[in-house]
Amino acid sequence: MSPDLFRGRLVRLCAPREDDAEILSRWSEDAQYRRLADTDAARPLAPGHFRERDEAGAEDPNNFEFRIRALDDDRLLGFVAVCGIEWVNRHGWVAIGIGDPAERGRGVGAEAMSLVLKYAFHELGLHRVSLDVIADNQAAIALYRNLGFIEEGRLRERVLRDGKRVDLLYMGMLARDWEVGLQSAAPGT
């Protein structure tokens, strides 16, 4: 793992930029992307929506959203966030989205999520993080399990997609589980 808090081998995490809103708006027109990332009804969103959200997020001490950028050419790949933090419980939610379908499955999401987990546990001092994922998003579930997330609950038939009911999974990770994963991934162990 990279010693840099915001930089890996493939990606870096950075603050939102003004011109990101146009790209995020284009991604919102991709129904598959929207449906994988959220349980809300998919709909295109204007660039202004993303600008307003970024401005509000910059002022919120319980939300930390980063943009994922490629190291080689600085192109925007997606977002990753620690949000809804309950400081008294040292708990937060994590979320990720890779906007360009050509970038999925190349390891950028895994690296970005690893960076944001390191940030959540080491920089913010959280004890646990949680996420939810639609049960038919097998690629995301495999990624989360590989990172050390444990399925902690299932809301049966919670999401409606194309007339079919799909479960929503809740997964979680404790800081100590993250540390154990780091030790087992270290060279020579």
Q: Which residues are catalytic?
A: 144
Residue labelled with tokens 């540390």: 179
pTM of the model: 0.91
10-68 per-position pLDDT tens digit? 999 999 999 999 999 999 998 888 888 788 888 899 999 999 999 888 889 999 999 99
Quote the CA–CA distance of 119 and 140 in Å, as a whole number.
20
Q: Are 121 and 105 in contact (CB under 8 A)?
A: no
R_g over Cα of the chain = 16
Residue labelled with tokens 């913010």: 124
120-162 per-position pLDDT tens digit? 999 999 999 999 999 999 999 999 999 999 999 999 999 998 8
Domain 11-185: which topology?
A: Aminopeptidase (3.40.630)
Residue 31 CA, chain-centre distance (Å), reads: 18
Backbone angles phi, psi at 56, to 5 degrees: -65, -40
